[in-house]
Amino acid sequence: MARPPSEHPTELELAILKVLWRKSPQTVQDVRDELAAAGRKLAHSSVITMMNIMVRKQYLKREKAGRAFEFTPLIEQQSVGRSMLGDIVDRVFDGSASAVMLELFEASDVDSEELAAIRKVISRKARELNQ
């Protein structure tokens, strides 16, 4: 029995999207080379199959450029991140943003720049609540 389709990109789809979010459009060979440089060596046929699936899912757009196709993301990094994070907050932390933040601070190191950015967001959210 096939598993139901996910509403979020798979691990490999996300890796491909990250390559294309950094620079696009790119050919299959360009994406394959970047994945290999990051330690993920895949056959050309595997990458093109996955990217064609991503076109059908409307994650990517494909356009002919000479003898090759170039691919561009149709979905934005920020919207994918928010959607995936929202799913984790709901499923793992029962919708509690504070539980996520507390766990995040315990599980990872935060440098002073990140802490300053977090403080800004918290201050902005507090002002929004008090209006």
- Helix, strand, coil % in the chain, rounded to nearest 5: 65, 10, 25
- Mean pLDDT along residues 4-27: 92
Which pLDDT score, from 0 to 100, does residue 31 have? 98
The SS3 assignment for 111 reads coil
Label residue 93 by pLDDT band (50, 70, 90).
Answer: very high
How far are the Cα atoms of 70, 115, 124, 125 from residue 119, in angstroms, in the given order? 41, 6, 9, 10
- Just give the CATH number of 11-73: 1.10.10.10
Q: pTM for the full model?
A: 0.82
Q: What is the pLDDT of residue 3?
A: 62
Confidence of residue 4 (pLDDT cuts 50, 70, 90): low
Give the model confidence (pLDDT) of 19-75 as tens digits. 999 999 999 999 999 999 999 999 999 999 999 999 999 999 999 999 999 999 999
For the chain, which residues make up each domain, given as ranges?
11-73, 77-130
Surface-to-core class of residue 10, CB atoms within 10 Å of its CB (0-12 exposed, 13-18 middle, 19+ buried): middle
